[in-house]
Amino acid sequence: MVSTFRKLARRFGFDISPFPGSAPHWERLIKTLSIHNIDCVFDIGANTGQYAQAIRTNGYAGEIVSFEPLSGVRATLEEHAARDPHWTIAPQTAVGAEIGQVEINISGESDMSSILALDAMAHERLASTRATTREQVPVTTLSSILEAHTSGAQTIFVKSDTQGYEDQVLDGIGNSWDRIAGLQLELSMQPIYDGQPDHLPLLNRLAEKGFRPHLVIPGYWSRHYGRMLEYDAVFFRD
């Protein structure tokens, strides 16, 4: 899976850091989950289940609930989860600021699909990430998810990989911040979607809620931009 992922990424100008397949990064993540007694992970933007498979393979034994809005990848996601009794696939939905409906731009590379459109520079430089079609999907909020999917869970961790929509995911927490023990967000150093914030306001927003970075994981380095575009950060309250 990892080698295929890297080949796809390099095809459209990304050089992958060690994150997707390097044991040290996954081991450090699992260690942080263990230290904070995480027993339920919300996998928002699951795609085909790569993240859930990786944390399970590297030692996380708790509950996983995956959320994936794209109908085209859900069959593969469900197949990957089928033999894991502690991995649940939620009904098809995006996660955002308000309950409703939204249209997703489906990229030629499914894990680059986003509710947001590529900005002009990314549209020019990252040709194979351009939307090839669109799909109308329902939207729920993290506040609603916390009500529906946390029966028996004591300590909840939220991973969000929503291609520039992280601020909307955070908006949907509402008054439920105290129910979340930790988060992992994909943060942008160089936004590539229209309306996407860069990492600084999101870091400040989480700091205001008492969350500090505990682990930083390098992400995509683009030769088309000549810089790293994004990274993952794991947050807990100190």
What CATH number is attached to the domain comprising 111? 3.40.50.150
- Give which of 63, 112, 116 is closest to 90, Cα–Cα: 63
What whole-number distance in Å separates Cα of residue 57 and Cα of residue 114? 27
pLDDT at 229 over 60: yes
For 60, the enclosing helix (H) or strand (E) is: none
Q: What count of Cα atoms within 13 Å lies in the side-chain half-sphere of residue 19?
A: 18
CB 15: neighbour CB atoms within 10 A? 12
Of the listed ranges 4-8, 44-48, 202-206, the least confidently predicted one is: 4-8
pLDDT band of residue 105 (cuts 50, 70, 90) is confident
Phi, then psi, of 176 in degrees rounded to 5: -105, 15
Write the DSSP string, 82-125.
TT-TTEEEPPS-EE-SSSEEEEEEEESSGGG-BSSPBPHHHHHH
CB 46: neighbour CB atoms within 10 A? 28
Higher pLDDT, 129 or 38: 38
Higher pLDDT, 37 or 114: 37
What whole-number distance in Å separates Cα of residue 200 and Cα of residue 223? 23
**Domain ranges, residue 93:** 2-237
Question: For 126-154, what is each residue's pLDDT tens digit?
Answer: 555 555 677 888 999 999 999 888 777 78
pLDDT at 68 over 60: yes
pLDDT for position 17: 40
pLDDT band of residue 194 (cuts 50, 70, 90) is confident
pLDDT for position 171: 94
pLDDT band of residue 25 (cuts 50, 70, 90) is confident
Q: How many domains does the chain have?
A: 1
